[in-house]
Amino acid sequence: TSITSAKIQVNGVHLHYQQTGEGSHAVLLLPGMLGSGQTDFGPQLKSLNKQLFTVVAWDPRGYGKSIPPSRDFPPDFFERDAKDAVDLMQALKFKKFSLLGWSDGGITALIAAAKYPNLIQKLVVWGANASVTQEDVRIYNGIRDVSKWSEKVKKPLEELYGHKYFAETCEAWVDGISRFAENSDGNICQQLLPDIKCPTFIIHGEKDPLVPQAHAEYIHKHIKGSRLLLMPEGKHNLHLRFAEDFNREVENFLR
């Protein structure tokens, strides 16, 4: 089946999304920092089972093709993304749906699952964290300067945004997410985890250089009945690098 691209007005902005498949189980893919459906989920849009699932990948406001507005990082940017994501799926007339969230998109998905329990069927998160430690801040500052990124990771984002927007938004993200470290326990959404009632699957790459494994273990411990899968060779982008294994695990969980 082909992949359609469109925009729809949600909460005063025009959100861009891609959609494919005709299955009865709707699934929303939530990208990471600076990400879009196109840059973050190629293998999932292409290969997730189109008979079982209707797959939607969105570009959060200020990312991908959901510009304008420009991306900003107020203290509630994760809550804003969670509301946008849920409202987008409702605008597309999906009554219930599952969430697959990567990195920042995983944090957004955790918040959405906790706050809108009647709408969310199942939840899969990977490379996500519910708090920010001083160690995390050190890691974030290590990626602040995009000129030091590998060509492979940098190129698609420079093509999508142009160098200036890409570089400035990355710096703004580092500042925005680092502010959570000032909260008690570095809290982003720790208090919401016990509110997540849907079946939850947490995947973590044991070689993830951006998100220490303790984050995945914390989320697993605080979401009742959740399942944790550790991928020994997985890094932060395990769903791209090991797309076949990842897709298979996720499909089995969502069935």
Token pair belonging to 72: 């900003």
Q: Are 105 and 77 in contact (CB under 8 A)?
A: no
What pLDDT does 207 receive? 98
pLDDT at residue 195 in the model: 98
247 has a pLDDT exceeding 80: yes
Supply the residues annotated as catalytic.
103, 208, 236
Mean of per-residue pLDDT scores for the chain: 98
120-126: strand order across its sheet: 4-10, 13-20, 53-59, 25-30, 97-102, 120-126, 200-205, 227-231
In degrees rounded to 5, what are phi and psi of residue 120?
-100, 120
CA-CA distance, 119 to 3, in Å (whole number)? 24
Domains within the chain, CATH numbers bracketed: 3-249 (3.40.50.1820)
Asked if residue 1 has pLDDT above 90, the reply is no
The continuous run of DSSP H or E covering 100 comes out as strand 97-102
Please state the rounded mean pLDDT for residues 147-173. Answer: 96
Specify the pTM.
0.98
- Cα–chain center distance at 150: 21
Strand spans (E) along 21-96: 25-30, 53-59
pLDDT-derived band at 237, boundaries 50, 70, 90: very high
pLDDT band of 20, cuts 50, 70, 90: very high
Q: What burial class does residue 79 get, using C-beta atoms within 10 Å of its C-beta: 0-12 exposed, 13-18 middle, 19+ buried? A: middle
pLDDT digits (tens, 9 = 90+) for 35-77: 999 999 999 999 999 999 999 999 999 999 999 999 999 999 9
Q: Is 204 exposed, middle or buried (0-12, 13-18, 19+ CB in 10 A)?
A: buried
Instruction: State residue 227's pLDDT score.
Output: 98
Closest CA to 189 of 247, 132, 123: 132
